[in-house]
Chain A
Amino acid sequence: MSEPGNEIIIEFRQAGYRLPSGATLLRNISFAVGRGETLVLLGRSGAGKTTALKLINRLVEPSEGEVLVERRRTTDWDPIALRRHIGYVIQETGLFPHYTVERNVSLLPRLERWTDQQVHTRAQDLLRLVGLDPGIFLERYPHELSGGQRQRVGIARALAANPPILLMDEPFGSLDPLTRAEIRAEFQALQRQLGKAIVLVTHDTGEALLLGTRIALMEAGELKGLYSPVELAESQEPVAVAYRAQLRGLEQFLKGGPQ
């Protein structure tokens, strides 16, 4: 199904998820993500992308099949240990409104009992990493930040305890297009720098092509195919064609200029 060049970090084996009410949100999902890889889950709202992500950090547990993190079933992990092993970025950022940026990003290192000095240095490094000046931003509260700055802090917080795995649920979703392009470019640089296994959820084909080393097309709770960006760009399968159409519309508009 896939050919991860190196060590497999995350693996889905025929994983499915049903709500207690019986509705099936995911069925028969199999894929693997290696170190240094970015797998993009691409699909429309309700395709099950976020649920797939939550299976990895065990915010939900598979009702069928299994999900493995570092070759261990998520259900065999202590959920707290598993989640601290995984950075999690959500679209709304979920920053703690009563904490400064510094306390937000240093919460996990503190819980992991790093020394004050380590925590402080780490907070500064993290902000620089995501392109924010620590001198300006460490003491601010989330409500004093713009949407883009909040997203950056959210990413910094997820990276704080240096987890080998990063899950990102539409991390650039609520941004204006320019800020989005900027953060994406920085994210690409980060990706190369960090060498983590990353799973990123988006409904934006351009973003998927730009950031993914592989792209999983999802529809109605099923995996419709796994592609490299080049394969997705060339595939003749209807879903792939449909997603490309989203891009083509943009290109045509750009070529034709404003109407």
Chain B
Amino acid sequence: MNQFLAQHGNEILEATLEHVWLVGATMLLAMAMGVPLGIVVARKPWLSKPILGSANIAETIPSLALLGFLLPIPWLGDRADRLAITALVLYALLPIIRNTAAGITGVDPAVREAARGMGLTGRQILFRVELPLSVSTILAGIRVATVLTIGIATITAAVGAGGLGEFIFRGLAMVNDPLILAGAIPAALLALGADFLLGILERLLRPVR
């Protein structure tokens, strides 16, 4: 064990950082797209089907296949991390969109009616009432998406995007269990850690305690 760590420790750390970078970049992009899309879904019912439908379809494509589909696309396929992050964002979107929409539509209609009746603009209702009241639901979606992304990001090593998946694929090829675990354990720890931290944040930001 110690010997293994001495031999691979630096490599594991590097792969973990790569993994965190993949997941972090993915989550930033997914939130930047998912929250606005969720707002649109909640506000414009006629757009809800196409948006949720597309996100749902992306979710159902097996990850290796999705990477394969994206590979020939000109700009995307040029760099492995670009490709990986695109695929990961597609997976991370659905929980974020769905929870954002659920949070907003879940706001008490009387509260919305009062806000409208007292003369708040649509934007004021969104930023002062609907979003603050949805924060913990949205965060729950982000939490699910993060854990999901940490897992799927191990697969993107298949296209050379790096990260902890490298160990897993190498271990599989060499039938070397310690190598597989060297990728799997840090990935699992990352997922648990992210889940725990975001869970705390979610509870802190719950509007009514």
Which A residues form the contact surface with B (CB < 8 A)? 57, 59, 79-88, 90, 92-98, 107-108, 111, 141, 143, 154, 157-158, 167
Contacts and interface: CB of A to CB of B under 8 A. Distances in A.
A80 B121 contact: yes
Contacts of B114: 88, 90, 93-96, 154
A83 B208 contact: no
Given A96-B129, A97-B133, A98-B132, A81 B111 contact: no
Nearest to B117: A88
A108 B121 CA distance: 12
B119 A90 contact: no
A83 B208 CA distance: 28
B115 interface: yes
25 contacts: A57-B117, A59-B113, A59-B116, A80-B121, A81-B119, A83-B116, A83-B119, A84-B118, A86-B119, A88-B117, A88-B118, A90-B113, A90-B117, A94-B112, A95-B114, A96-B114, A96-B129, A97-B111, A97-B207, A107-B128, A111-B120, A141-B208, A143-B208, A154-B114, A167-B117
Say which size band chain B's interface belongs to.
Answer: 20 to 34
B interface, over-half SS: helix
B54 interface: no
B123 to A, nearest CB: 11
Given A59-B117, A97-B207, A111 B129 contact: no
Q: Which 3 A-B pairs have the closest CB atoms?
A: A94-B114, A83-B119, A92-B110
Given A111-B124, A141-B208, A143-B208, A96 B111 contact: yes
Contact of B111 (A59, A95, A107): A95
A94 B119 contact: no
